[in-house]
Every structure is written in C-alpha cells, then in structure tokens.
Structure 1
Amino acid sequence: MKHLTKTLAAIALAASMAAPAMAAPETYVVDGAHSYPRFSYDHFGFSTQLSRFDNTSGQIVFDRTAKTGAVDITIDTTSVNTGSAEFDEHIQATDFLDTAAYPTAIFKSTKVNFDGDKPATIEGNLTIKGITKPVTLTVTSFQAMPHPMMKKDAIGANAYTVIKRSDFNAGKFAPHIGDKVRIDLALEAVKK
C-alpha cells in the first residue's frame, strides 16, 4: 500500500509539472512618453480642430487567457496642447475644462469585451470636471509583445469614443462650435 501511495504521488507531481502554466492577470504601467489622448471637434464648420494632452498616466491589467482586463487612465488636463499658448489658456478656463478646479480627467473601465484574444471595446466611466458619464472606447488596434528596446513585455492600443462636451458642463458656443468631441487614445504600457 505504501508503494502504491508513493507511485500515485509521483504521478500527480509529474502531471502537475507537465500541465501548462495557467496565465494570470498582468499589470502594465502606462508609458507617458508614448501615450497621448487627442480630441477633435468642428470649429464653426470651417475645420476640424485637433489637440492633445501631453501628460497621461495609469495602469492596465490584462489577462489574455481569461479574456479579461481593466483600464485606469488619468489625463492631466493642464497639459492640453492646442498648438497655441493663448488657446491652451482658453481651453483651461471655467467655460471649458476648468483646470484650476479639475486638473485631471479620469477613465476607469467597467468591462473589457474581447474579439478572439484581443480587446474590441472597453466600457467604462469618464470623469471630466467632476461629472462622470458612461462611455465605450472602440479599440481599432491592439498589440501585446516584448518591447524591442525596453526588453520587457508591453501592450499598445489605439481606441476612440465620442462624447458631448455639454454633458460635462463644457458646452459654451455650442452648436456653432461642435458639441460632439471625438477622443482618440494612443496608448502604450510596459509590464511592471
């Protein structure tokens, strides 16, 4: 009987070593040097204006095997970059971003929906000027692989959503200046 118990234990140990390792959620830190939210809107019908924020931080949790994830992004709204210092100040005023009172915008995911092994949409809550609204980011590209220069695992994505600025108490001059704002996020993150 003792011999049978030892044999069964050895078989169980060998089987556990041969079984593939189960993937676990992995945490990635946003690379601020390669992550820029951009926003665009109609300007009196003359043109589509495109601006960005220069400082973004956050983290992403990704589990390809379980097809789950979580995204937590903080945008420094004082880093708005329109290409004009005067207009940067205008965008930061109380009628628009009110960065003196609300220096950040925050996106926190509630669900990541996959198509195969890649995220397709990310549902979550966007907070601007202390107002939180549900939004869905549509993922247009996604990559997970070792970073060739950093020699660490990394992920990257492009995604977008469309919001109404009036929903966030920033609707001055609407509808002459478009109320709909498209937000495009170019994001890269490196494994902790």
Structure 2
Amino acid sequence: MTPLKTLVASLAFAAVAAPALAAPQTFKLDTNHTFPRFSYSHFGYSTQLSRFDKTTGTVTLDRAAKTGAVDITIDTKSVSTGSALFNEHIQAPDFLDTAAYPTATFKSTKVTFDGDKPVAVDGVLTLKGVSKPVTLKVTSFQLMPHPMLKKDAIGANATVTVKRTDFNMGKYAPNVGDDVTIDIAIEAISE
C-alpha cells in the first residue's frame, strides 16, 4: 500500500472509530436503588424526612463531549412518610394531589461537568402540574463496571431546595416550612 493510500485508510478508520469512542451512553435507573427524598421543618420542632418508593427514568452521558441528559418520573402515590395516615394526608389536594397528578417529573436542559464528572444538572421540575426551572447540585458521582452485573453503572447523589408554595402546596406555610430540600440518590445500569 502506498503512503497516500495508508494515510487515506487511516483517516477513514479514524473518522468511523472516533464517533464510536465518544458515543453517548444511556443508563436505565435501578428502581431498587433510586429514591428521591424530601425534608422540611415541622413547626420548627423537627426536620421531617420522607421519600418516594417508585421512580423510573434514564440518564444519558457523553463524558468525552461533556454533555448529558436526565429524565426522571416519580410515582407520587408511592410517597412514604413512615405513617399510613400521613401518607394519605400528603397525597391529598392540599399537598401532592396524587389523584389529579400521579407523577412528578424532572427533565434536564443542561448538565455541567467539572473534568469528567457532572457537578450540576439544570432542568425543569414538574410537580402538581406546575413546572419550574431548578438546578440539582451533584454531590457525588461514580461511573464504573458493576461488580455483579458486569455492565457499566453509575451512581449519584444530587440535591436542590424548592419552595412548596411555588408548586401550589402552601398549606400551613410558614409554620410547616416552605423550603423543601429534595435529595435524590440514584443508581443506573447501562442499557
């Protein structure tokens, strides 16, 4: 093969191989290890902690291009406060109104990286039919082969504080805190 043909063949191979090396990777949420939690002040006496037990979605990352996408759906009827009575109270129209709004969603608009790790995710949180822009701060992130499944997996923790009055859930505010901190722990497996 002449040097020119070798160069052309090398460039053609590089053009085909480069996109494969930088291809985005999609991860499906592991529903057994993904739990959005929320906390708020209860009359200043204590910080109440609750969570949602059913969450689905995907995370797509292209670490080479430093881009990504997050799409999460939370089953609001799966709220778990530790009390069956309070679960019903939180699902009522004054708060989550799960009969009318059985899901909450978060859809990213931008993922910010520091090096090869995401550190913030801008997006739109829709809760009780109200959509607001929020920024999740990523407090930890890991991407590595899952030791049991032998596939790439990610894990992350992220947090944001919102005002429940912004989502038409202001009953008892400010005595029951208007500020609600949402923490989400996710694990997801490569598809």
What TM-score results when the alignment is normalised by the length of structure 2? 0.94
Give the corresponding residue for 1:187.
186
* Partner residue in 1 for 2:136: 137
Q: CA deviation at 1:8?
A: 2.0
The residue that corresponds to 1:12 in the other structure is 8
The residue number in structure 1 matching 2:26 is: 27
Which of structures 1 and 2 has the bigger CA Rg?
1
* TM-superposed deviation, 1:109: 0.4
In structure 2, give the amino acid aligned to 1:35: T
For residues 147-176 of structure 1, the C-alpha deviation after alignment (integer angstroms, 9 at most, x for no partner) is 111111111100000000010001100000
Structure 1 residue matching 2:101: 3-state secondary structure: coil
Q: Kindly indicate whether residue 146 of structure 2 is the aligned counterpart of residue 150 of structure 1.
A: no
Residue aligned with 1:33, SS: coil
The letter of the residue matching 1:10 is T
TM-score, normalised via structure 1 length: 0.93
Per the TM alignment, residue 23 of structure 1 is displaced from its structure 2 partner at its CA by 1.2
Deviation at 1:16, TM superposition (A): 5.2
- Asked whether 1:99 is paired with 2:108, we answer no
Distance change in 2, residues 1:11/1:178 (3 Å) = same
Determine the structure 2 residue equivalent to 1:39. 38
Q: What do you get for the CA RMSD once the two structures are aligned? A: 1.5
The superposition leaves residues 24-80 of structure 1 with CA deviations (integer Å, 9 ceiling, x where unpaired) of 111111111000000000001110000000000000110000000000000000000
Q: How does 1:102-121 map to 2 (within 5 A)?
A: 102-121=101-120
**Alpha-carbon separation, structure 2, partners of 1:167 and 1:35:** 25
Q: How does 1:45-124 map to 2 (within 5 A)?
A: 45-124=44-123
Whole-angstrom CA distance in 2 between matches of 1:80 and 1:119: 28
SS of the residue aligned with 2:98?
coil
How many Å separate the matches in 2 of 1:52 and 1:110? 25
Give distance in 1, aligned partners of 2:11 and 2:127: 52
Where in structure 2 are there 5+ consecutive unaligned residues?
Answer: none
| Distance in structure 1 (CA, Å) of the matches to 2:145 and 2:153 | 6
Find the aligned partners of 2:7 and 2:54 in 1 and give their Cα distance: 54
Shift of residue 10, structure 1, vs aligned partner: 2.9
Structure 1 residue runs of 5 or longer lacking an equivalent are none
